Amino acid sequence: MSNLEQKPFNVREIREEFPALRQQVYGKNLIYFDNGATSQKPKLVLDAINLFYSKENANIHRGVHYLRTTKRQDSAFNVTLAQENRKKSSLQKEQQTVSTSLLFPTDPLYLLVMKS
């Protein structure tokens, strides 16, 4: 299957990923419409939550032990920091472009900004 081809939407396959939807209510399969307040979790998410609370839950950087939580938190922090730095860099370039567009090529400040 190429990247452009899409697999058909299979409701039964998707329902199987959500343990809560495997139950019956009044003798019928449970149907649950997502809303902003609550949503059912797929098994993958439930497994990740269970792993976290059963093996990794700890106060970050406070213990002498080094649980994976610290490693994951550090990794998430570094990803967020890199994204913020990219945003700042992009914003600074935009600000410089706007600033230099307000200067005339004969202005000494224009030459100074263009050198940096």
Q: What is the pLDDT of residues 11-27, one digit of tens each?
A: 889 889 999 999 999 99
62-82 burial, b if ≥16 CB within 10 A, otherwise e?
Answer: eeeeeeebbeeeeeeeeeeee
Q: Say if residue 49's pLDDT is above 60.
A: yes
The secondary structure of residue 20, as a DSSP letter, is: G
Q: Tokens in use for 111? A: 């030459």
Please spell the DSSP secondary structure of 45-75, one letter per residue.
Answer: HHHHHHHIIIII---TTTSSS--HHHHHHHH
Q: Say if residue 33's pLDDT is above 90.
A: no
**pTM score over 0.85:** no
Q: Which residues contact 29 (CB under 8 A, 6 or more apart)?
A: 15, 21
Q: What is the pLDDT of residues 64-108, one digit of tens each?
A: 666 666 677 777 788 888 888 888 777 777 666 655 555 555 555
CA 102 to chain centroid, in Å, comes to 38
pLDDT at 43: 94
How many angstroms separate the CA atoms of 28 and 43, rounded? 21
